[in-house]
Amino acid sequence: MPKKKPGLPVSDHDAVTENIRNTFGREEDLLIKGALQRAILNSANFSSIATDAKGVIQIFNVGAERMLGYVAEEVINKITPADISDPDEVVARAKALSLELDTVITPGFEALVFKASRGIEDIYELTYIRKDGSRFPAVVSVTALRDEQDSIIGYLLIGTDNTARKEVEAEQKKLDQRLRDLQFYTRSLFEANIDAILTTDPSGIITDVNKQTEALTGCTRDELIGAPFKGYFTDPDRAETSIKLALSERKATNFELTAHARDGKETVVSYNATVFYDRDRKLQGVFASARDVTERKLLDQVLEEKNIELECAMSLAEKANLAKSEFLSSMSHELRSPLNAILGFAQLMESDSPPPAPSQLEAIAQILQAGWHLLKLINEILDLAKIEARQVALSPESVLLSEVMFDCQGMIEPQAQQYGVRVTFPRFDENPCYVKADRTRLKQVIINLLSNAIKYTREQGTVDVNYTVINPGRIRVSVSDTGVGLTPEQMAQLFQPFNRLGQEATGVEGTGIGLVMAKRLVELMEGVVGVESSIGVGSVFWFELNSALAPMYTSEDAAPSVPDKSQYPIGTKPHTLLYVEDNPANMRLVEQLVTRHPDFGLITAVDGNSGIELARSAQPDVILMDINLPDIDCFKALKILREDPLTVHIPVIAISANAMPRHIKKGLEVGFFQYLTKPIKINEFIDTLSAAMEFRTQQERQGR
């Protein structure tokens, strides 16, 4: 029993205690409710905007600040939610509600809360406009706030970012359209077949036919679907056996049946069938074809055509994926010829004598500027199409990063000066840094990142190029700028073809293709690409590649002996070797090898076109050609040399880091005298040159 408090009866003491407990209990409930309210207001996952009865914002929570870019002090007691909403959508909502509720609703805040003010639940979609002017779709729920007398004292608008759902819906529409297109295409192939084509379920009930089957049976498609397959042949049991054979053996080949048409016509057909499955590998039925084989001599041709048709069906998905790239590649080639004519004649007009009038010069300058930009776009589309179609031949090798950086520095400086941007490149220490890459494509990636950084950096800004050894097996190259930076939404849209992230209106030329190509090329070289950005600070684009050892050549046993000069007649000139190579390190290596053998003199070319011209003018005894040339396909270069009477007799040796048997086989098949692989083996190299010289000598003796 509780002790009695002095001066109070026991019953009074209990009542006081109970009151204290109730008071503290209510305070605890209030604390919990307050904590919940603060949690809701401070939530960053949705925006909570509360207004007074006139719509002026009174509460603007953390979620609203994050979504809309304002701080609460910038909007409270200053604007209404209508001021941060798409005005056209607000007007449209007012009109729609006016028709729906048969009353005049004024565009503005009233249109946003009209239903809620009448006690009607209201959830709608609306576009919010951020402080920086960017927009995003939102789902908004509106509730009227009332006092104890049920009078409206304000409104609560709770919004969630609807961007992700919109993107999913858009992507789903694209997928649905692609599915419809694929279904239409598949149906077209089905109907275009010259044979009677049909499908059945596992029990032999027809599920689909083409028009040739209708012609064979004399029945319509509706009559055939749902009917037993065996019912349209003179020997139903044999027809049923053909279905069972296909199901048990997973195919039936050259199974002879006699089809019986409604009008009594009988046709001997060669029945071929296979089973097909759904994506879960569940058996769906039999896919069958029937060809008229009255003339037995056509049987072999029939079988061959069926095999081709089946192969085409298996490759259908791959062809659909490559159709766009092939179309772009074809169109790019068709556009280049007339565009070259436009640019050529425009340049002639610009340099005409007497010179054109100032107004004409200005017009010509516009033509040239637009033409060069269009030519760049066409080239990039063609390059992207080749990359997407996996038609780009890469020659991975050990590339000295400092050499590539030096080349890029010389190429990018004119653009940097034009834009008033300072570009800095890293200093390389005494330890050389090598990456495994295609030299030409690596240079293309770095130039692309540098060009983008320069174009979108503030005037008098800086672009810094750096490299970092991530670990012994990985090198990161980064290009940072002092531009305006990218929003999270823009970063999410990076690397999308033709998407310039709203830069179309800035006047800065671009295609929206360069970053996509850079990413694809880096990935083809077994690397990754990334970006980091801060608004108002700038962006850092980076890529990582595998590191590599310095290139080297091997001698199998010992250094080869130098041939005795006395074996050559006095006055005889050394044999001439033309080396076509754009890699300075490889060039130096061959130079050192040739200096050991004074019976050979060396001349060099850094690209295919100049190599062809040098072969014509210098008439070398042997040509050594790198497979991966920067300006022309090596096989095309070889074809040009073989078709020219001046160079047809010169043996051409291929050299490449592509050492797969299929690469070597292809090189020999197209006409290279020999195919050497890197790293170079000295004995093999010299033996190949000797064999080429012996071949050349034999040709000269035969008068070729």
Task: Tell me the two tokens of residue 364.
Answer: 């010509």
Do the Cβ atoms of 67 and 159 come closer than 8 Å?
Answer: yes
Report the pLDDT value the prediction gives residue 335, as an integer from 0 to 100.
65
With residue 470 as reference, give the H or E element that holds it. strand 462-471
Domain ranges of the chain: 1-38, 42-161, 193-314, 319-388, 397-546, 565-701
User: Of 493, 475, 503, nearest to 533 (Cα)?
Assistant: 493
What pLDDT score was predicted for residue 572?
44
Q: Which fold has domain 42-161?
A: Beta-Lactamase (3.30.450)
**Fold classification of 319-388 (topology level):** Helix Hairpins (1.10.287)
If you search the block for the tokens 């950005």, which residue do you land on? 533
Q: Can you state the percent helix, strand and coil of the chain, rounding each to 5?
A: 50, 25, 30
Q: Reply yes or no on whether the pLDDT at 519 is more than 60.
A: yes
Q: Which residue bears the tokens 């890029």?
A: 408
Amino acid identity, position 554: T
Q: Are 158 and 47 in contact (CB under 8 A)?
A: yes
Burial (CB count within 10 angstroms: exposed 0-12, middle 13-18, buried 19+), residue 684: middle
- Report residue 320's pLDDT band, with 50, 70 and 90 as the boundaries: low
Q: Backbone dihedral region of 616: left (phi > 0), alpha (psi from -120 to 50 degrees) or beta? A: alpha
Selection from 107-111, 190-194, 450-454 with the highest mean pLDDT: 107-111
Q: What are the Cα distances from residue 127, in Å, to 67, 89, 120, 159?
A: 12, 8, 22, 11
Residue 157 and residue 123 in contact, taking contact as beta carbons nearer than 8 Å: no
Average pLDDT over residues 298-318: 67
pTM above 0.85, yes or no: no
Name the helix (H) or strand (E) containing 638.
Answer: helix 634-643
Tens digits of residue pLDDT in 223-275 = 899 999 888 898 889 888 888 888 888 888 888 888 888 898 888 888 889 99
Residues above pLDDT 70, as percent of the chain = 77
Q: In what order do the strands lie in the sheet with 135-146?
A: 57-60, 47-52, 152-161, 135-146, 122-129
Average the pLDDT over 525-538 and give the result: 89
Asked if the model's pLDDT at residue 35 lies above 60, the reply is no
- Tokens matching residue 507: 């006047």
Task: Give 568's pLDDT tier (boundaries 50, 70, 90).
Answer: very low
User: Which residue has 């304002």 as its token pair?
Assistant: 70
Task: Find the length of the chain.
Answer: 704
- HEC assignment per residue over 382-425: HHHHHHHCCCCCCCCEEEEHHHHHHHHHHHHHHHHHHHCCEEEC
Quote the tokens at residue 88: 């056209």
The rounded percent of the chain whose pLDDT value lies above 90 is 23
Nearest by Cα to 142 from 94, 109, 107, 97: 109
* Res 86: pLDDT: 93
CA angle 561, 563, 567 (to 5 degrees): 155
pLDDT for 120 equals: 87
Between strands 600-605 and 575-580, the pairing is parallel
Tell whether domain 397-546 is in CATH 3.30.565.10: yes
Given this model, what pLDDT does residue 332 score? 56
Distance of CA 600 to the CA centre of its chain: 48
CATH architecture, range 565-701: 3-Layer(aba) Sandwich (3.40)
Count other Cβ atoms within 10 Å, centred on residue 355: 11
Q: Which residue has the higher pLDDT, 1 or 113?
A: 113
CB atoms within 10 A of CB 80: 21
Domains 42-161 and 193-314 share a fold: yes
How confident is the prediction for the chain on average, in pLDDT?
80
Q: How far apart are CA 196 and CA 536, in angstroms?
A: 67
Element (H, E) at 155: strand 152-161
Which of the four pLDDT bands, split at 50, 70 and 90, describes residue 179? confident
Query: How far apart are the C-alpha atoms of 702 and 563, rounded to whole Å?
Result: 26
Give CA–CA dist 510/507, Å, rounded. Answer: 9
What is the rounded CA–CA span in Å between residue 130 and residue 127? 10
pLDDT score, position 325:
56
Q: How would residue 184 be classed by pLDDT, with cut points 50, 70 and 90?
A: confident
At residue 520, the pLDDT reads 87
> Which whole-number Å values give the CA distances from 197 to 35, 78, 211, 217, 512, in the listed order?
70, 72, 8, 12, 46
- Encoding tokens for residue 601? 């003199």
Contacts of 383 (CB under 8 A, 6+ apart): 513, 517
State the pLDDT at residue 588: 77
Binned at pLDDT 50, 70 and 90, residue 5 comes out as very low
Distance CA 671, CA 635 (A): 9
Average the pLDDT over each of 194-198, 331-335, 630-634 and give the range with the smallest value. 331-335
Give the least confident one: 19-23, 43-47, 146-150, 623-627: 19-23
Q: What is the mean pLDDT of residues 640-651?
A: 91
- Work out the pLDDT band at 40, boundaries 50, 70, 90: low
Q: By three-state DSSP, how is residue 702 classified?
A: coil
The Cα–Cα gap between 336 and 345 comes to 14
pLDDT of residue 249: 87
Residue 656 has pLDDT above 50, yes or no: yes
Q: Would you say residue 57 has pLDDT above 90?
A: yes
Model confidence at 129: pLDDT above 90: yes
Buried/exposed 153-179: b ≥16 CB within 10 Å, e otherwise: ebbbbbbbbbeeeeeeeeeeeeeeeee
Q: Are strands 206-209 and 196-200 parallel, antiparallel or unpaired?
A: antiparallel
182 or 532, which is more confident: 532
Q: Which pair of tokens denotes residue 594?
A: 């040739």
* Statement: residue 412 has pLDDT above 90: no
Average pLDDT score over residue span 574-602:
80
Element counts in the chain: helices (H) and strands (E): 21, 22
CATH class of the domain defined by 193-314: alpha beta
Lowest-confidence region among 87-91, 258-262, 270-274, 387-391: 387-391
8 A C-beta contact, residue 626 and residue 678: no
pLDDT in tens, 473-508: 899 999 999 888 888 888 877 777 666 555 554 555
The H or E element spanning position 333 is: helix 316-350
Contact 286, 246 (CB under 8 A): yes
- What is the pLDDT, as a whole number, of residue 633? 83
What average pLDDT score do residues 31-38 get?
Answer: 54
